[in-house]
């Protein structure tokens, strides 16, 4: 599956996102829990997140509050949740 997230600072992460009810859920691969936390805790990095998935593109904007980062699948996937300020 061809999927990529690009943070506002230009950092690219393999993964995808889902926006629902004012929340943003990120599903990331090939990144550690600590790396994800350090990137996503900075509101400047998450104010605009561009996504590409299977030829489609878009941007999630305004999500500046990280409230959850977890490790899934024995560390193979990191999930994060953000909400708007």
Over residues 14-68, the pLDDT tens digits come to 999 999 999 999 999 999 999 999 999 999 999 999 999 999 999 999 999 999 9
pLDDT of 73 over the 90 cut: no
How buried is residue 70: exposed, middle or buried, by Cβ count under 10 Å (0-12/13-18/19+)?
Answer: exposed
Question: Which residue would you say has higher pLDDT here, 73 or 7?
Answer: 7
Residue 5 is given by DSSP the state: E
Tokens of 24: 């943003």
Report the pLDDT averaged over residues 71-84. 93
Cβ 3 vs Cβ 12: under 8 Å? no
Cβ 7 vs Cβ 49: under 8 Å? yes
Q: What pLDDT sits at residue 1?
A: 58
């Amino acid at each position: 599956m061809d999927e990529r997230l690009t943070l506002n600072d230009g950092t690219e992460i393999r993964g995808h996102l889902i926006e629902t009810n004012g929340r943003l859920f990120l599903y990331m691969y090939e990144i550690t829990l600590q790396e994800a936390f350090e990137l996503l805790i900075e509101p400047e990095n998450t104010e605009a997140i561009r996504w590409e998935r299977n030829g489609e593109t878009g941007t999630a904007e305004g999500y500046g509050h990280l409230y959850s980062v977890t490790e899934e699948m024995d560390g193979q996937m990191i999930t994060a949740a953000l909400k708007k300020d």
